[in-house]
Structure 1
Amino acid sequence: MKELLRRVRLITPIVLELPVDKDLFIQRLKSHVAPPHINPASWLGRIFSPTVAPYTGVVEADFVRLKPRAPGNRALATMEATVSPVKAGVRLTGELNGISTYLAFSVAVCVGSSLLMLVFMALLGSELTFATLLASLCMLLMNGIVFIGIPYTRARRQMQQTAYELERDLFYFVQRPEPAPPH
């Protein structure tokens, strides 16, 4: 299944190199990442969230799982990456996963309704005319565009946006100077 998702580019590789020590990177990143599932009413958005961190996920010494906290109830891509030190700093090597429950539900509805339409066409048997077949194929095409095409392009666009914002934010988190100590 993951290979199919890689072919349709809903799972894409991501490699980021940042000019900072690995331990310092982990330390700075932790302050910007909230633990997952801390908001029981997450479907309402960030209104009832106890933190204002821009990302949710897990940050460990060798592994990072990040998901942007979207305003409202948008499904965004998740990044899972391993953290490894290199001479120039730190390298994150992983995948950006754009699959969401919205996309999976849309595909399931499309496949189910298409199968139902094919069953009804088979039940018609000899009463199936060219006009009925043409209308059914047009409905299948429209069904595929609405339930698969539009959510797919939306997921791809959100993956590209998430990749850009993730790279920008991580670079900002790393380059931001340490806060001055209080006097």
Structure 2
Amino acid sequence: MNSFLRKINLIKDITIQLPITKTEFIQKFRNHVDESDLGYVPFEVFQSSTNEYKGNIQNNTFELKKRKKIFDTNYSFAKVIGEIIQEGNELTINVEIVGFRKRILLFGVMILLFYLLFFVGAISNDDAFPFFILPFLMIHMSVMLVIPYFVIRRSVNRMAYDLERDFHYWVTKR
């Protein structure tokens, strides 16, 4: 499943190298990321914080997500799982950005069931339903199933860009 999700760009791996020690990076991480277990928070958009990310860090690994903001159109579905490796004077960060969640399967199944019930009801009632509407419904169904894919893929790509940019900013900011 993971290899398929990587092929369709819903999981992305990146490597970031920074000229900083691991202890300095951990300190900067704790300054710029709010401590959280990344669970569901009902009214997260109303919490005030200057930090853009929430997450946690252990000795060699970290997890983070973008904080949800009110009226934010950048859908942040992506979750980041990273590994920190110190190599001499450089820090190598191997990051896996995951945009796909299992609850998305529930959404897809519900959409498919809705259209299946609609098609079965339309076919079983011969005199009331014009059949020329079926191609339009098939197009509508395909759009409803494809739009979430593009939104999640954009979220993963945007997270990769923002994460690399922000990590370099944290290191160069004094």
TM range (shorter): 0.7 to 0.9
Report the Cα offset of residue 172 of structure 1.
Answer: 1.1
How much identity, in percent, do the aligned residues show? Answer: 23
Question: Is there any run of 5+ residues in structure 2 with no aligned partner, and where?
Answer: none
User: C-alpha separation between the residues in 2 aligned to 1:171 and 1:160?
Assistant: 17
Q: 1:32 to 1:160 in 2, by over 3 A?
A: same
Structure of greater relative contact order (alpha carbons < 8 Å, 6+ residues apart): 2
Alignment of 1:104-183 (within 5 A): 104-117=105-118, 119-120=120-121, 124=124, 132=131, 135-145=133-143, 147-177=144-174
TM-score normalised by L of structure 2: 0.79
Q: 1:118 to 1:88 in 2, by over 3 A?
A: farther
Q: How many residues align?
A: 169
Question: Is there any run of 5+ residues in structure 1 with no aligned partner, and where?
Answer: 178-183
User: C-alpha separation between the residues in 1 aligned to 2:80 and 2:171?
Assistant: 18
> Do the aligned residues in 1 keep the contact of 2:38 with 2:65 (CA within 8 Å)?
no
> Do the aligned residues in 2 keep the contact of 1:5 with 1:11 (CA within 8 Å)?
yes
TM-score normalised by L of structure 1: 0.76
Report the Cα offset of residue 85 of structure 1.
Answer: 1.2
User: C-alpha separation between the residues in 1 aligned to 2:95 and 2:60?
Assistant: 12
Match of 1:180 in 2: none
Q: 1:86 to 1:92 in 2, by over 3 A?
A: same
Q: Rg larger in 1 or in 2? A: 1
